[in-house]
């Protein structure tokens, strides 16, 4: 788009691969248009550890015009966002090089969980009187041997489909190639198309998952995301959480819902502004209300997870001896496929030809709040 100002011409460019800075001088001065940045490049060496095999991997790099906010995504490892930096500080917990991460069962960054999130009580997906058995080395299992976190968490079947930047955002669109992922094809045998968008704006990262049913049959899905947020240099007593929930689900020894609810106001009276401290969380929160925002409040900034209407369940995960907190947007609770089969919970079901999208965002808000509690 072209425009004029004081007889000087300036040009705004939707850049396909990187931002553009354009200047023109006239008798009255110089005009500069600053763009967001979007690049697809060979992977930078993360950390200081040499990582054989990383030459195969790429990084999609998004940043603001002054690089005050930056994000990196690796399409070849589950389309995982492995870095989110604000004013030069890393906000994600990702203490690995990507080659190690790809080969291990570790989780970090912002992995996508699909077609189900969290645990299932058995090695199968139940749906309308049928069961689809789950098997294979790619299947993740929890400490009790239960299947967990879907089927494509580190899949190499993602590829970059579109990349662009403007004055207001940098955006990357990724496409999943079903033919290249045997785990999803064998365990969840439905024709489907997946798109995943990361859009970086001035103070937030927007993430959008789109799913299309290309099969002759309907299928269920309960996707979610599992962001690991770093506490940085701050101690747990200096961290506060804001949990916008009315209820949590009581869990069995296998961390499966047992059918009972817990009133959040009774178990965590200060849940809207509570010290993290020694609290242990592996907790499913429901009854989130309108426009729910989970917050991790550090002395220097607040990380705000906006679940939106597509994610009516939130999970907080933080072992008491770890330097991270997971604020997880979920379409349904743990074991939702089985709860649905018993008529205990409604979940998304895609009919043939139907499309469905799931959007949330991570907002970064600087704060001057002082540390709380003993250091």
**pLDDT tens figures, 96-152:** 989 899 999 999 999 999 999 999 999 999 999 999 999 998 899 999 999 999 999
**Is the predicted pLDDT of residue 313 greater than 90, yes or no?**
yes
Q: pLDDT at position 10, please?
A: 25
Q: pLDDT at position 178, please?
A: 96
Q: Which residues contact 213 (CB under 8 A, 6 or more apart)?
A: 190, 191, 192, 219, 350, 351, 352, 353, 354, 355
Q: Which two tokens stand for residue 294?
A: 């989970």
Contact 170, 185 (CB under 8 A): no
Report the alpha-carbon distance of residue 1 to residue 325 in Å, rounded: 43
**Annotated domain spans of the chain:** 2-35, 39-366
Q: pLDDT at position 243, please?
A: 98
Using alpha carbons, select from 298, 81, 293 the residue that is nearest to residue 174: 81
Whole-number percent of the chain with pLDDT over 90: 82
**Is the predicted pLDDT of residue 49 greater than 80, yes or no?**
no
Whole-number percent of the chain with pLDDT over 70: 86
Coil, strand, or helix at residue 331? coil
Q: pLDDT at position 267, please?
A: 96
First to last CA, the chain: 54
CATH topology assigned to domain 39-366: Beta-galactosidase; Chain A, domain 5 (2.70.98)
Q: Which residues contact 185 (CB under 8 A, 6 or more apart)?
A: 178, 179
Report the alpha-carbon distance of residue 248 to residue 239 in Å, rounded: 21
Confidence (pTM)? 0.88
**Is the predicted pLDDT of residue 32 greater than 80, yes or no?**
no
Going by pLDDT thresholds of 50, 70 and 90, the confidence category of residue 235 is very high
**Is the predicted pLDDT of residue 193 greater than 50, yes or no?**
yes
Going by pLDDT thresholds of 50, 70 and 90, the confidence category of residue 43 is confident
**Whole-number Cα distances in Å, 341 to 151, 335, 345:** 20, 10, 8
Query: In sequence order, what are the beta bridge partners of 316?
Result: 283, 327
């Amino acid at each position: 788009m072209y425009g004029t100002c004081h007889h000087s011409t300036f040009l705004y460019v939707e850049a396909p691969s990187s931002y553009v800075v354009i200047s023109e001088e006239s008798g009255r001065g110089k005009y500069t248009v600053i763009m967001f940045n979007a690049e697809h490049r060979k992977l930078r060496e993360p950390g200081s550890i040499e990582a054989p095999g990383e030459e195969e991997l790429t990084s999609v790099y998004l940043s603001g015009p002054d690089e005050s906010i930056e994000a990196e995504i690796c399409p070849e490892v589950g389309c995982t966002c492995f870095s989110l930096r604000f004013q030069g500080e890393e906000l994600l917990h990702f203490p690995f090089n990507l080659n190690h991460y790809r080969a291990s069962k570790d989780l970090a960054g912002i992995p996508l969980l699909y077609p189900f999130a969290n645990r299932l009580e058995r090695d199968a997906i139940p749906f309308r009187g049928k069961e689809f058995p789950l098997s294979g080395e790619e299947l993740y299992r929890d400490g009790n041997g239960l299947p967990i976190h879907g089927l494509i968490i580190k899949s190499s079947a993602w590829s970059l489909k579109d990349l662009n930047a403007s004055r207001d955002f940098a955006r990357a669109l990724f496409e999943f190639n079903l033919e290249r992922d045997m785990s999803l094809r064998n365990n969840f045998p439905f024709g489907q198309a997946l798109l995943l968008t990361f859009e970086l704006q001035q103070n937030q990262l927007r993430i959008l998952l789109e799913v299309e049913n290309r099969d002759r049959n309907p299928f269920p899905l309960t996707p979610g995301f599992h962001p690991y947020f770093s506490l940085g240099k701050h101690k747990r007593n200096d961290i506060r959480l804001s949990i916008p929930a009315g209820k949590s689900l009581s869990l069995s020894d296998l961390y499966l819902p047992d059918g009972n609810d817990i009133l959040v106001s009774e178990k965590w009276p200060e849940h809207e502004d509570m010290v993290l401290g020694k609290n242990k969380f592996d907790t499913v929160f429901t009854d989130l209300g309108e426009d729910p925002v989970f917050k991790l409040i550090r002395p220097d900034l607040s990380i705000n997870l906006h679940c939106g209407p597509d994610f009516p369940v939130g999970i907080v995960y933080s072992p008491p001896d770890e330097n991270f907190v997971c604020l997880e947007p979920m379409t349904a609770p743990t074991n939702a496929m089985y709860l649905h089969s018993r008529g205990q919970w409604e979940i998304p079901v895609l009919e043939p030809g139907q499309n469905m999208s799931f959007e949330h965002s991570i907002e970064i808000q600087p704060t001057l709040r002082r540390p709380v509690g003993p250091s």
